[in-house]
Amino acid sequence: MSRASVVIVGGGITALSAAYELSGGAAGSNENSPRIEIIEASPSLGGALQTTTFGERLMDLGPDGFLATRPEAVQLAKDLGLESELVPIASSGANIFLKGELRELPTGLMLGVPVNRKQVEEMAGLSKQARKAAKRDWKKPRKLRVGDDISIGAILANKLGEELAYQLIEPMIGGIQAGRIDDLSAKSIFPALYNAARQGGSLMKNLAAMMPESRSDAPAFMSLRQGVGSFPHVLESLLRERQVVIRTNTAVTRVRPVASGNYQWEVDTESTTTSANAVIMATPASVTGHLTASVDKALAKLEHVRTAPTAMATFEFATESIQLPKHGTGVLVPLGTKWTGRDSLLTTAITFLDRKWSNLQRPNTVVVRVHVGRSDDQRYSHFDDDELAERILQELAFILGEAPIPLRTVVTRWNVGLPQYSVGHDRLVSAARAASEPLSMFLAGNSYDGVGIPASIKSGRLTAQQVMRSIS
């Protein structure tokens, strides 16, 4: 019997992890390995994982590290022989630009959420009302009906009051997701918060009881010495050695079920059709919804999963020319923060990249990255790259007190950006999977199983295992 054929649509880290697992994982391919074809629309593999040369540094343009408290990315690095390339995060802590001043964030928050009264009491820059709200949650917590899902914002505003929700906590959660806490699903994005709210009683006490024990010797984040772009780079070589067919610069235009014959699916591009026994859709949900809309209504609904485009400007400054806060890997900025310009700040966060990663440290220069853009704030898109860099430098001067002329600048735009898991996202995903999996079509990645490199690797590898079961 001929080998089974699997097509993977998309070539991001999810797709590559799936192909790695399908082609035998750490053990390598064997006679049961299917024929695998990856079809990627852009010129290179890796999706958001892109590393470039920035002066003397090899620097990531998208994700610059990954959670090391979960195992998947660290394990993949080990599987690929990249263990010696792992670098732990070099610094901890963060600042927030609160009411016009830089303040250090308390340590021990859970995704930005305080887990005890003291963290709020001791933090400078908060009002009496914010402190009262924290005290109320501790002593006489408000009741809240949580239901099957609820927004993160609805929980936080009810339990901890609006100031803590939108000024202190949203910059962290909204920053990671490029979205608004009022839209984001607690159940899908922050299950610990969802469960803490469902338990009733004090949100902070419930969260404190769920805090994982911190092991002071274990780094929470890691990266790779040559950038996280090493993952796609090494995976591509390995997959080519394993005879995986890799097509870049080729957009999939349609995925069609086949009524009869040996194959279940046909995957179309502008000029070709590939037959497959199983298809893994590792594209953003909106793309997947578009490509598979004719298969089932539940799949068509994926087209409505919004993404939040963002951009970032990365600057190299002479070390002595810029004054950064003494501690922390960066600064969070609450939405709508006023400045001297006519509108509010575009900046959502600032990262001191070479404080995070020792491989980026150089004796005389520092690297500062400024992030702009949220699901509901696309003002940055009206600026061209030079205008955007100029505007961001003005904002940097306002926040840090000064911003010298940079030695080097790069502006990066993420036009697709991060998927927004709105309230009820899990129902949408379950319905789409219930419709597609019996037909041997599998949905993997960023849009379904959590945002981030470890979650995407896990999604790719587990999906590949499902595919193996379905075709065997």
Ligand X SMILES: Cc1cc2nc3c(=O)[nH]c(=O)nc-3n(C[C@H](O)[C@H](O)[C@H](O)COP(=O)(O)OP(=O)(O)OC[C@H]3O[C@@H](n4cnc5c(N)ncnc54)[C@H](O)[C@@H]3O)c2cc1C
Nearer to ligand X, 194 or 357 (CB): 357
Transcribe 41-61 into DSSP letters: SSSSSBTT--EEEETTEEEES
Ordered alpha helix ranges (H), 86-217 = 117-121, 128-139, 152-160, 162, 170-177, 186-189, 191-199, 203-210
Task: Tell me: does residue 372 bind ligand X (CB under 6 A).
Answer: no
Residues within window 427-466 making contact with ligand X, judged by CB under 6 A? 445-446, 451-453, 456
Task: Tell me: does residue 48 bind ligand X (CB under 6 A).
Answer: yes
Nearer to ligand X, 41 or 407 (CB): 41
Cα separation, 40 vs 187, whole angstroms? 31
Task: Tell me: does residue 357 bind ligand X (CB under 6 A).
Answer: no
User: Tokens representing 246?
Assistant: 């890799």
Task: Tell me: does residue 13 bind ligand X (CB under 6 A).
Answer: yes
Q: Which listed residue (6, 7, 11, 458) binds ligand X by CB under 6 A?
A: 11
Give the residue among 45, 43, 426, 467 at the shortest CA–CA distance from 230: 45
The CA radius of gyration of the chain, in Å to the nearest whole number, is: 23
Task: Tell me: does residue 41 bind ligand X (CB under 6 A).
Answer: yes
Nearer to ligand X, 12 or 161 (CB): 12
Task: Tell me: does residue 252 bind ligand X (CB under 6 A).
Answer: yes
Q: How far is CA 270 from CA 249, 254, 458, in A?
A: 11, 9, 31
Task: Tell me: does residue 10 bind ligand X (CB under 6 A).
Answer: yes
- Count the site residues for ligand X by CB under 6 A: 35
Q: How far is CA 110 from CA 134, 211, 441, 446, in A?
A: 15, 7, 36, 22
Per-position b or e across 329-346, b if 16+ CB within 10 A of its CB: bbbbbbbebebeeeebbb
Task: Tell me: does residue 15 bind ligand X (CB under 6 A).
Answer: yes
Measured from the CB of residue 449, what is the shortest distance to ligand X in angstroms? 9
Tell me the window of 38-46, 313-321, 356-364, 386-394 that interacts with ligand X (CB under 6 A).
38-46
Measured from the CB of residue 363, what is the shortest distance to ligand X in angstroms? 26
Task: Tell me: does residue 284 bind ligand X (CB under 6 A).
Answer: yes
Cα separation, 55 vs 98, whole angstroms? 33
- Residue number, nearest CB to ligand X: 47
How far out from the chain centre does Cα 53 lie?
22
Measured from the CB of residue 118, what is the shortest distance to ligand X in angstroms? 29
Nearer to ligand X, 196 or 295 (CB): 295
Nearer to ligand X, 250 or 394 (CB): 250
Task: Tell me: does residue 418 bind ligand X (CB under 6 A).
Answer: yes
Measured from the CB of residue 73, what is the shortest distance to ligand X in angstroms? 7
Cα separation, 307 vs 211, whole angstroms? 30
Q: Which listed residue (37, 40, 316, 354) binds ligand X by CB under 6 A?
A: 40
Nearer to ligand X, 9 or 152 (CB): 9
Interface map 298-337 toward ligand X (x if CB under 6 A): ------------x---------------------------
The pair phi, psi for residue 386, each rounded to 5°, is -65, -45
Edge-to-edge order in the sheet of strand 221-224: 66-67, 221-224, 86-88
User: Tokens representing 287?
Assistant: 């793309």
Tell me the window of 95-103, 150-158, 188-196, 276-284 that interacts with ligand X (CB under 6 A).
276-284
Residues 409 and 313 sit within 8 Å (Cβ to Cβ): yes
Edge-to-edge order in the sheet of strand 307-318: 101-104, 95-98, 330-332, 347-352, 365-372, 307-318, 408-419
Measured from the CB of residue 328, what is the shortest distance to ligand X in angstroms? 16
Which residues bind to ligand X, rule: CB under 6 A?
A: 9-15, 39-42, 47-49, 62-66, 251-252, 282-284, 287, 310, 414, 417-418, 445-446, 451-453, 456
